[in-house]
Amino acid sequence: MKIHISLLTALIGSCILPANGYGQTNTAPATTSTQSDKAYFQPLELSPTAYDVPYRIALFNPKDGEDGARVWSQTKSIFAYGFVAFGVLAALPEESTGWEKNTDFFGKWIDNVKDSPEWDRNDFVYNYAGHMYFGGVYYVVARKSGYRQWDSFIYSFLMSTFYWEYGVEAFAEIPSIQDIVFTPIAGWLYGEWAYQTEMNIRAANNKVLGSGFLGGLSLILLDPVDSAGRGVNYIFGRQLIKSGYGYFSYVPSQTPEGETDHTVYLHMRIPIGAAGPDEPNKITTINHVDDPVDKGIIGVSGSVGYTGLDSHWNVENGLYSKITLGLYFTPRVSLRLGYAWGNLEKTTGESIDYENYSINSQVYMNTKGRLRPYLTGGLGRQTWERDNDTANFQWNGGLGLYCKVIPKLALTADWLNYYSPSSKTYDQQYNLGLIYRFGHGEHNDW
């Protein structure tokens, strides 16, 4: 059982804060800022070349005004909450956490980290809804500090993998392969939605359905880390945790020569004191959509397949279902986590559960066309009867065909050959599926 308590801390802290919240937007004011506005925003001109290298990682080397100090401050606070969470988990009854009492926790952590990641069989709703939420919580920490979507995803990946999977949770269980992949990707989708939703609530005077209470509660749930930080600052009467933020905005303007001048701004907001100053009643904004790397690179697919199993298993070939979750970086390269499952028959007539999961990369050809042949390869495991103890490590490679229908949809068909060094077996998969891309899907100019 996994327990996060930062939300609880946020709720307690926010309950004792003044009702006024912090206004926020990801876009530039459409009108000239008033003197009151200048108390909150300091626009700095930023070169549009910030987007020239789409996959540049600015997280550790902010060059365009991103608020690295805020990210570091909030990261330290998250680690502090993690130590508290560990203490609470260790004190709870064994039947509620699954953590064995009188256990050498640090010895167990070393053993769990040394093992290769396995398929996590925790409760479905908790395992996926919970991880998506907290992946989004990490994402928003970077996003509200002026970082682009790509950097915010990288931050969520680092936190969910090394802070949680290989950190706090590794005291209890072996890291999970699908959590390592699913948490930051699904967190990207949820986190961007949460970020945009918070902007809308802030622009509506911190109200939801006309209610300040619902608005305040929503803001806590959308960003519990920031809410917890404000609560801690209020309790101690000083700004221990930096809860200001930065964000990019874009304003096109006409030059005297009739050309369009593209100006990108970085806006920084640092609350003064524990609660910060009052904010303007309403913020009018212009949308900014220049970022070339957004959630459109995320794709999910559903497939049907047919096995070609090695005779070593004494299992008949049959149909199965398969899902993948991946990042389609460009029309040339993608990376997918795939999971296949089905109920097959042994040669003796008994039924047996079949599972196969792997992380594969794809390299596509004819990238400007709709039909794109591709090579794929990766590694993973095959299991029987949903028992991780039966897992066989496998290398795989194969061929496929990708057919772009529209920017958000594509058909795919592939053949994969799996080789297990331990059992010296070769297994085949034949798949036919449909890929859905989020956001606007594939960029038309790629």
Domain that holds residue 365: 295-437
411: buried, middle or exposed (CB in 10 Å: 19+, 13-18, 0-12)?
middle
Mean pLDDT of 343-359: 94
Based on the fold, state whether residues 338 and 252 are members of the same structural domain: no
* Domain containing residue 395: CATH number: 2.40.160.20
Based on the fold, state whether residues 177 and 66 are members of the same structural domain: yes
Q: Give me the pLDDT at residue 133, please.
A: 87
Query: Greater confidence, 60 or 283?
Result: 60
Q: Give me the pLDDT at residue 358, please.
A: 94
Mean pLDDT of 129-152: 87
Tell which of 286, 312, 347 closes a domain: 286
Based on the fold, state whether residues 249 and 313 are members of the same structural domain: no
Write out pLDDT tens, residues 397-443: 999 999 999 999 999 999 999 999 999 999 999 999 999 999 989 98
Write out pLDDT tens, residues 369-399: 999 999 999 999 999 998 888 889 999 999 9
Write out pLDDT tens, residues 231-242: 666 566 655 555
Write out pLDDT tens, residues 212-235: 888 778 877 777 766 666 666 656
Q: Give me the pLDDT at residue 283, please.
A: 33
Residue 444 lies in a domain: no
Based on the fold, state whether residues 227 and 79 are members of the same structural domain: yes
For the cut 50, the answer to whether the pLDDT of residue 156 exceeds it is yes
Confidence of residue 4 (pLDDT cuts 50, 70, 90): very low
Tell which of 235, 264, 286 closes a domain: 286
Angle at 161 between CA 158 and CA 162, to 5 degrees: 75
Q: b or e along 359-387 (b: 16 or more beta carbons within 10 Å of the residue's beta carbon)?
A: bbebebeeeeeeebebebebebbbbbeee
Based on the fold, state whether residues 23 and 94 are members of the same structural domain: yes
pTM of the model: 0.75
Average pLDDT, the chain: 76
Mean pLDDT of 258-265: 56
Report helix, strand or coil for 155: helix
Write out pLDDT tens, residues 56-69: 888 888 877 777 88
Nearest to 391, CA basis, from 416, 417, 418: 418
Count of the separate structural domains present in the chain: 2
Nearest to 380, CA basis, from 333, 414, 427: 427
Based on the fold, state whether residues 355 and 246 are members of the same structural domain: no
